[in-house]
Amino acid sequence: MKRNEQYELMPKILDIAIKNGWKDGKAHKNLLALYPANFGRNFLTDNHYRLLILNHGFAKAFFDDKSWKCHLMQMVLMEDPIEYLIPFLDDLTPNG
Protein backbone atom coordinates (compact mmCIF):
# COMPACT_ATOMS: atom_id res chain seq x y z
CA MET A 1 0.00 0.00 0.00
CA LYS A 2 1.31 3.44 -0.91
CA ARG A 3 2.00 6.07 1.74
CA ASN A 4 -0.63 8.44 0.40
CA GLU A 5 -3.24 5.66 0.66
CA GLN A 6 -2.17 4.96 4.24
CA TYR A 7 -2.31 8.66 5.04
CA GLU A 8 -5.84 8.94 3.62
CA LEU A 9 -7.05 5.96 5.66
CA MET A 10 -5.56 6.98 9.00
CA PRO A 11 -8.17 9.63 9.91
CA LYS A 12 -11.00 7.14 9.29
CA ILE A 13 -9.19 4.45 11.26
CA LEU A 14 -8.55 6.84 14.13
CA ASP A 15 -12.16 8.11 14.03
CA ILE A 16 -13.56 4.63 14.64
CA ALA A 17 -11.31 4.05 17.63
CA ILE A 18 -11.91 7.57 19.01
CA LYS A 19 -15.69 7.27 18.69
CA ASN A 20 -15.48 3.92 20.44
CA GLY A 21 -13.67 5.44 23.42
CA TRP A 22 -9.95 5.66 22.56
CA LYS A 23 -9.01 9.02 24.05
CA ASP A 24 -5.34 8.92 23.01
CA GLY A 25 -6.31 9.02 19.34
CA LYS A 26 -7.63 12.60 19.42
CA ALA A 27 -4.20 14.17 19.79
CA HIS A 28 -2.74 12.08 16.97
CA LYS A 29 -5.62 12.85 14.65
CA ASN A 30 -5.25 16.57 15.38
CA LEU A 31 -1.54 16.41 14.51
CA LEU A 32 -2.33 14.72 11.21
CA ALA A 33 -4.82 17.47 10.39
CA LEU A 34 -2.60 20.37 11.48
CA TYR A 35 0.63 19.26 9.86
CA PRO A 36 -0.25 17.08 6.88
CA ALA A 37 2.77 18.08 4.83
CA ASN A 38 5.40 17.39 7.48
CA PHE A 39 3.99 15.29 10.29
CA GLY A 40 1.90 13.17 7.96
CA ARG A 41 4.83 12.14 5.82
CA ASN A 42 7.09 11.53 8.81
CA PHE A 43 4.28 9.74 10.61
CA LEU A 44 4.12 7.13 7.86
CA THR A 45 7.79 7.07 6.86
CA ASP A 46 8.98 6.50 10.40
CA ASN A 47 6.21 3.97 11.02
CA HIS A 48 4.76 5.94 13.94
CA TYR A 49 1.34 4.76 12.83
CA ARG A 50 2.35 1.25 13.88
CA LEU A 51 2.81 2.44 17.46
CA LEU A 52 -0.75 3.72 17.40
CA ILE A 53 -2.60 0.89 15.72
CA LEU A 54 -0.62 -1.87 17.42
CA ASN A 55 -1.47 -0.34 20.79
CA HIS A 56 -3.71 -2.29 23.19
CA GLY A 57 -5.93 0.74 23.80
CA PHE A 58 -6.44 1.29 20.09
CA ALA A 59 -7.23 -2.38 19.44
CA LYS A 60 -9.73 -2.53 22.34
CA ALA A 61 -11.58 0.48 20.94
CA PHE A 62 -11.38 -0.42 17.25
CA PHE A 63 -12.46 -4.03 17.79
CA ASP A 64 -14.77 -5.32 20.49
CA ASP A 65 -13.43 -6.31 23.91
CA LYS A 66 -13.67 -10.03 23.19
CA SER A 67 -11.78 -10.17 19.89
CA TRP A 68 -9.21 -7.37 20.10
CA LYS A 69 -6.34 -9.63 21.14
CA CYS A 70 -6.83 -11.96 18.17
CA HIS A 71 -7.00 -9.03 15.76
CA LEU A 72 -3.94 -7.41 17.32
CA MET A 73 -1.93 -10.61 16.92
CA GLN A 74 -2.89 -10.77 13.24
CA MET A 75 -1.94 -7.13 12.70
CA VAL A 76 1.48 -7.61 14.32
CA LEU A 77 2.25 -10.35 11.82
CA MET A 78 1.44 -8.19 8.79
CA GLU A 79 3.98 -6.13 6.88
CA ASP A 80 1.42 -3.31 6.74
CA PRO A 81 -1.13 -3.57 9.56
CA ILE A 82 -3.32 -0.90 7.91
CA GLU A 83 -4.15 -3.44 5.20
CA TYR A 84 -5.59 -5.71 7.90
CA LEU A 85 -7.94 -2.92 9.03
CA ILE A 86 -9.35 -2.07 5.59
CA PRO A 87 -12.05 -4.78 5.52
CA PHE A 88 -13.32 -3.56 8.90
CA LEU A 89 -13.64 0.12 7.98
CA ASP A 90 -17.08 -0.19 6.40
CA ASP A 91 -18.32 -2.87 8.80
CA LEU A 92 -17.45 -1.18 12.07
CA THR A 93 -19.66 1.51 13.45
CA PRO A 94 -18.94 3.46 16.61
CA ASN A 95 -20.54 2.17 19.79
CA GLY A 96 -23.50 4.09 21.13
The residue extents of the domains of the chain are: 3-87
Q: Which residues of the chain have pLDDT under 50?
A: 96
Phi, psi of 82 (to 5 degrees): -60, -35
The whole-number pLDDT of residue 46 equals 61
The whole-number pLDDT of residue 96 equals 46
Strands (E), 1-96: none
Q: 85 with 8: CB under 8 angstroms?
A: no
The whole-number pLDDT of residue 65 equals 76
Task: Summarize the chain as % helix, strand, coil (round to 5).
Answer: 70, 0, 30
